[in-house]
Every structure is written in C-alpha cells, then in structure tokens.
C-alpha cells in the first residue's frame, strides 16, 4: 500500500489570497459587456485547441480540478484537496461539494473520470500526460489517478492551454473523439454559453447557480472566488484594428484587445477610455534550423547572436514606444518569479562586430545565403525581422528575408529544412516542462537541436523532483540555451488593451481578459 500525503494546500491558498486584487463583491449588477477580440475561437470544445482565442472563452465557461493564481502558482478549483503517494505514482483528488454544471447536474467523480479520459485520448495537450496509466472513481467524491512514472501531474492539470476542463460524463461519452457542439457545451464555470456564431460573436450569460469558491477572498489568476456581476458578455471577433478602435470611440465596445500602439496617443486623449499594457504578453523569439549545415555550427550561431542589438530591434517592433518593450534575456518573464533566470545571459544584447568577424572566420562562412522566414500577420514580428536582418547584413551575413503568411510559415518550418531562421513569438510559459517541445532532441519544434546535457536537465524538469531540484535544473537549462545558442530570445513585447471607464474593476492579466468581478456602470 502506497502512503499518501496531503499537499501543503494551506500555504498555497495563503499565497493565492495575497494575489487577489479584484474587489470581492459587485458594486453594481446587471448589464452587458461588449468585448472586441482579435481572433475567432475555432471551437467551443475546451480541450481541442491551444489558441488564445479558445482559452479566453474556456476560462469563462469551464473549470478544472486545479488552476493558476495571479502569480502563476497552482491553486485548487474543482478539487477540495489532493494527496500524492510517496513514490509519486498515485494521486487521490477529492472534489468540492455543491458544484453544479450549467444543466443543473451535480458534479461527481464520474464526470471527472470521463472528462480526463477523453482529454487523454483526443486533446492536443494529451502528450504531456503520457505517464498517466489510469483514472478511476473511488467514490462519488473521489478520483484516483495512477502514473507509470513520476512527473509534475498537478501543475500539468492546471495549465490553461488547453484547459483540462471537466464536462458532464454523458456528454464526454456521447461525443467521444468528436467535437462537442451546440447546447452540449456545458461546464461548471461562472458563465454559461448562450450562442456561438462564428465570425459574429460568442454570447455568454451569468450562470445563476454558480457557487463561488468560498475558500478564497476574491478572484485570482484563472480561478479563486469568482463572482459574475453582469448579465451577459459578448466576445466579438473584430480582426480589423481600425474597427476595434472606432467601436471603442463610439461606445459600441467596452473592451478591445490588442489595440494598435499607433492608436494609443489618440485613445489616451479620451477621458472615457482607459489604455493598459498587458505584461507579460509576447517574447520575440527566433527559432533556429539546426538541421541546416550552416546553423549546425556553433561558431556561426554565436556570430548571429553577437550581431544582434536587442534594444534596437525591440524599439523597432514597438514603434519606438519604450513602455511597450523590455530588453530581457530570460525565457520566463520577470513577473514569473519562480522560473525567471538570467543565467548565461552575459552574451545577450552585446553587439560586437569584431566578435562576429572572428566567429564567422571560425565557422568558415563563405557568404552562403541564410534564409530567414517571417510573416506580416503579426506586425511586430515583421518589424523585428526587418531590424534583425538589417543588423546581420551590416555584420556581413548574407541574410535573405522570406515573407510568408503565418500558416504557411509554420508548415514550412516544421516540414522543410530549406531555412535557417524562423521568426516567431512565444506566449508566456507557465512551467519549464512546456519548453520540452522546443529543446528536446526528438521534438519537431526543436528543429534538430540536440544536446545530451539538455536531455538530462529536461528529464529532471519533467520528473516529480522537488521544486528546488526542478528550479536548479531549469536555471542550468536556461544557461545552456544561451551557451548553445539553441534559440535566440530577443526581448519582451507588450500590447495595449483598452476599456471604457464604464467597466468597473477590470484588471489585465496574461493574455486573457477576465470578465468575472467586473461591473458595467450606466445601465
């Protein structure tokens, strides 16, 4: 019999409460929030997509056993608590009492088992859970998860991309590997789905029977004690930047995601509009094609790095507005205190043409063309690429910028070897195991990068080792990323979002607007 130990849940919860910044109750009730988003969600099935657009919807409609707080730490959500066996191979989750689905059914362990099993079978996030061998219901309030190998199970369950959503068992069984649709889109979240019309909008209404999680003082991160103050929220996909700005000005919109930086000065002159900067938002990153013979040479990669003036690049990407970028070397953002590390960053943002020359000579570079893939779907990516290409050209590197559209670029980067540099942006990672795909030998997205030392570090990061051990392993991995020039991280790019002052209590967070504990004045 394995021995099960309770987690240090109380300490987790104290931290969570400290992070709560929203008001815990509603000053006014009722009203409708019109929120303009840049992209369409491609599905209402919460577990099928990792896109921002899907997550934005899913965190309002669905809940998981555990979630993340304001400081990106794990907090309980549908779970009352959990116990981990000493060998780390068995977890027992107890469910909270009184939780209801949108269709009025009470949450039981059968729902959790069916939802997790479906997730493990068809979700793009399933590969993180390869070591899960079984999920069973012990009794109506208890679920047992068995693993073949110790790994950070609870942190993985808390990841919001995709949300490990709990849905009613009969719906999980009815749809199986098909996409859940229509009126069957049912969760336990504070909002319920009313209507999804692609390209028109997603209408959600307050879930009247939502039971606020009383263990928290207020909302925090993706969870906590959430209370819905408005009657309705409409997520409207408005891809045209100018239309989002115009809608805010006319008062038809209450919230606009990613307004263009160039429109900020104009918006700031309007008293009823508040512009805020979302931090963290994007890391501007260059992925390197290590299968390319030139890129396989470490001196050549070092030459590329030594030619980059990160500050100049970031300035170009952010239209010269210093509030919208940060020159910073760590893959994890400074806000993510647990994982942020500047190890190995002595080489970052130190442009030195003499060094470039020496490295190029060492690599035996003979002016071969260096193919650099980029796109205009993301204006900031394109601006960064142009600035970097100019710096490399100045340093004597024959770079060829190739412009594609975003889906074609992803496809080419993943299937062809005819490129050297791939311009991309990374959204904030929550835990280092999410970097495995980009640094692990056999991963498609590591594009041929392979280092035995990195493999060992990733093994520790993906194991059930203690927080301290995993932290040390990540610091070493971050240093190795710079030593090996595995990828090139250029800097942090932030985006403005704007709200009308009629929205009370709205707080920007990560890349996801949250409309619980937000009021709408003047109804």
Partner 1 sequence: MMNLVLRRLVLFIPMWIAVSVLSFVIVHATPGDPAASFVGQDAGAASLDVAHRRLGLDRPYMEQLYHWVAGSLTGDLGQSYFLGRSVATAILERLPVTFSLGMLALLVGAVVGIPLGTVAALSPNSWKDASTIGVSLTFLSVPEFVVGMLLIYVLGVELRWFPIGRYAPLSDGVGLWLHHLALPALALGLSQSALIARMTRASLLQVLGADYIRTARAKGLPEKIVIGRHAFRNAIITIVTVIGLSLALLLSGAFITEALFQLPGIGSLGVSAVLRRDYPVIQGLLLVSSSFILIVNILVDIVYGLLNPTISDR
Contact 205, 196 (CB under 8 A): no
Residue closer to partner 1, measured from CB, 2 or 42 = 42
Binding mask 136-165 for partner 1 (x = CB under 8 A): -------------------------x----
Looking at beta carbons, which pairs linking 500-503 to residues 24 or more positions away fall under 8 Å? Answer: 500/248, 500/251, 500/253, 500/254, 500/255, 500/272, 500/273, 500/274, 501/271, 501/272, 501/273, 501/274, 502/254, 502/272, 503/33, 503/254, 503/255
Q: Please identify which residue in the block is written with the tokens 């990106």.
A: 72
CB of 53 to partner 1, least distance (A): 9
Q: Please identify which residue in the block is written with the tokens 């590997």.
A: 177
**What letter does residue 100 receive in the DSSP assignment?**
B
Q: For residue 422, state whether it binds partner 1 (rule: CB under 8 A).
A: no
Residue closer to partner 1, measured from CB, 349 or 434 = 434
**What letter does residue 428 receive in the DSSP assignment?**
P
Contact 61, 187 (CB under 8 A): yes
Residue closer to partner 1, measured from CB, 76 or 187 = 187
Site for partner 1 in 196-255 (CB under 8 A): 196-200, 238, 240, 242-243, 246-247, 249-250, 252
Q: For residue 125, state whether it binds partner 1 (rule: CB under 8 A).
A: yes
Q: For residue 445, state whether it binds partner 1 (rule: CB under 8 A).
A: yes
Q: For residue 8, state whether it binds partner 1 (rule: CB under 8 A).
A: no
Stretch that binds partner 1, among 36-44, 67-75, 214-222, 350-358 (CB under 8 A): 36-44
CB of 287 to partner 1, least distance (A): 11
CB of 415 to partner 1, least distance (A): 8
CB of 63 to partner 1, least distance (A): 21
Q: For residue 265, state whether it binds partner 1 (rule: CB under 8 A).
A: no
CB of 197 to partner 1, least distance (A): 7
Closest CA relative to residue 384, chosen from 468, 456, 319: 319
Among the listed residues 13, 43, 102, 508, the single contact to partner 1 using CB under 8 A: 43
As separate numbers, helices (DSSP H) first and strands (DSSP E) second, the chain gives 15, 22
Among the listed residues 98, 209, 293, 411, the single contact to partner 1 using CB under 8 A: 411
Residue closer to partner 1, measured from CB, 215 or 412 = 412
CB of 243 to partner 1, least distance (A): 5
Residues 251 and 266: their CA atoms lie apart, in Å, by: 15
Closest CA relative to residue 370, chosen from 338, 325, 402: 402
CB of 97 to partner 1, least distance (A): 33
Stretch that binds partner 1, among 74-82, 173-181, 298-306, 515-523 (CB under 8 A): 173-181
Please count the residues of this chain forming the interface with partner 1, following the rule CB under 8 A. Answer: 54
Q: For residue 42, state whether it binds partner 1 (rule: CB under 8 A).
A: yes
Q: For residue 256, state whether it binds partner 1 (rule: CB under 8 A).
A: no
Residue closer to partner 1, measured from CB, 52 or 328 = 52
Among the listed residues 80, 212, 417, 427, the single contact to partner 1 using CB under 8 A: 427
Residues 428 and 221: their CA atoms lie apart, in Å, by: 14
Residue closer to partner 1, measured from CB, 87 or 240 = 240
Q: For residue 426, state whether it binds partner 1 (rule: CB under 8 A).
A: yes
Residue closer to partner 1, measured from CB, 20 or 278 = 278
Contact 244, 253 (CB under 8 A): yes
Q: For residue 462, state whether it binds partner 1 (rule: CB under 8 A).
A: no
Q: Please identify which residue in the block is written with the tokens 């195991």.
A: 433
CB of 54 to partner 1, least distance (A): 7
Residue 60's SS3 state is helix
Q: Tell me: cis bond preceding 451? Omega within 30 of 0 counts.
A: no
CA torsion, ordered 230, 232, 235, 236, to nearest 10 deg: -120
Query: Two tokens at 487?
Result: 């990828």
Closest CA relative to residue 438, chosen from 276, 302, 287: 287
Beta strands in 348-418 (DSSP E): 370-375, 399-404
Beta strands in 198-352 (DSSP E): 201-206, 219-220, 223-224, 232-237, 255-256, 273-288, 325-326
Q: For residue 501, state whether it binds partner 1 (rule: CB under 8 A).
A: no
Contact 438, 285 (CB under 8 A): no
Among the listed residues 7, 38, 51, 80, the single contact to partner 1 using CB under 8 A: 51
Question: Contact residues for partner 1 (CB under 8 A)?
Answer: 40, 42-45, 48-52, 54, 122-127, 161, 177, 179, 181-182, 196-200, 238, 240, 242-243, 246-247, 249-250, 252, 404-408, 410-412, 414, 424-427, 434, 437, 443-445
């Amino acid at each position: 019999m394995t021995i099960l130990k309770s987690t240090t849940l109380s300490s987790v919860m104290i931290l969570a409460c400290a992070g709560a910044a929203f008001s815990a109750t509603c000053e006014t009730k009722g009203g409708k929030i019109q929120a303009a988003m840049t992209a369409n969600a491609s599905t209402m099935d919460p577990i099928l997509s990792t896109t921002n657009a899907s997550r934005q919807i899913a965190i309002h409609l669905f809940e998981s056993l555990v979630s993340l707080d304001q400081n990106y730490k794990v907090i309980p959500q549908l779970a009352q608590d959990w116990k981990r066996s000493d060998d780390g191979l068995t977890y027992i989750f107890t469910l909270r009492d009184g939780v209801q689905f949108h269709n009025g059914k009470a949450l039981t362990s059968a729902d959790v088992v069916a939802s997790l099993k479906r997730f493990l079978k068809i979700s793009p996030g399933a590969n993180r859970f390869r070591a899960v061998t079984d999920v069973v219901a012990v009794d109506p309030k208890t679920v047992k998860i068995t693993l073949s190998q110790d790994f950070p199970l609870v942190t993985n369950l808390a990841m919001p991309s995709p949300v490990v959503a709990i849905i009613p068992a009969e719906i999980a069984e009815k749809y199986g590997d098909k996409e859940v649709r229509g009126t069957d889109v049912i969760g336990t979240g504070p909002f319920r789905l009313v209507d999804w019309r692609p390209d028109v909008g997603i209408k959600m209404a307050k879930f009247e029977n939502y039971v606020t999680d009383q263990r928290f003082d207020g909302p925090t991160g993706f969870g906590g004690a959430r209370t819905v103050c408005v009657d309705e929220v409409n997520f409207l996909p408005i891809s045209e930047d100018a239309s989002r700005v115009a809608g805010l000005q006319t008062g038809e919109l209450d919230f606009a995601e990613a307004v263009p930086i160039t429109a900020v000065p104009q918006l700031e002159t309007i008293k009823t509009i508040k512009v805020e900067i979302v931090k963290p938002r994007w890391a501007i990153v260059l992925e390197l094609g290590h299968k390319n013979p030139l890129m396989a040479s470490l001196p050549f990669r070092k030459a590329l790095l030594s030619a980059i003036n990160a500050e100049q690049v970031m300035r170009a990407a952010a239209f010269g507005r210093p509030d919208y970028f940060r020159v910073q070397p760590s893959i994890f953002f400074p806000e993510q205190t647990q994982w942020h590390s500047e190890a190995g960053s002595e080489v970052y943002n130190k442009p030195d043409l003499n060094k470039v020359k020496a490295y190029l000579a060492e690599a035996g570079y003979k002016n071969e063309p260096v193919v650099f893939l980029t796109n205009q779907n993301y204006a900031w990516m394109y601006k960064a690429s142009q600035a970097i290409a100019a710096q490399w050209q100045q340093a004597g590197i024959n770079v060829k910028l190739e412009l594609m559209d975003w889906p074609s670029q992803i496809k080419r980067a993943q299937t062809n070897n005819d490129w050297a540099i791939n311009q991309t942006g990374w959204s904030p990672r929550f835990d280092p195991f999410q970097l495995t795909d980009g640094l692990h030998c056999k991963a498609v997205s590591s594009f041929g990068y392979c280092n035995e030392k990195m493999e060992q570090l990733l093994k520790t990061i993906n194991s059930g080792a203690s927080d301290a051990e995993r932290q040390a392993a990540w610091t070493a991995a971050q240093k190795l990323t710079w030593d090996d020039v595995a990828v090139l991280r250029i800097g942090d790019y932030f985006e403005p979002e704007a709200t009308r002052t009629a929205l009370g209590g709205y707080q920007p967070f990560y890349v996801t607007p949250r409309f619980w504990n937000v009021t709408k004045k003047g109804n």
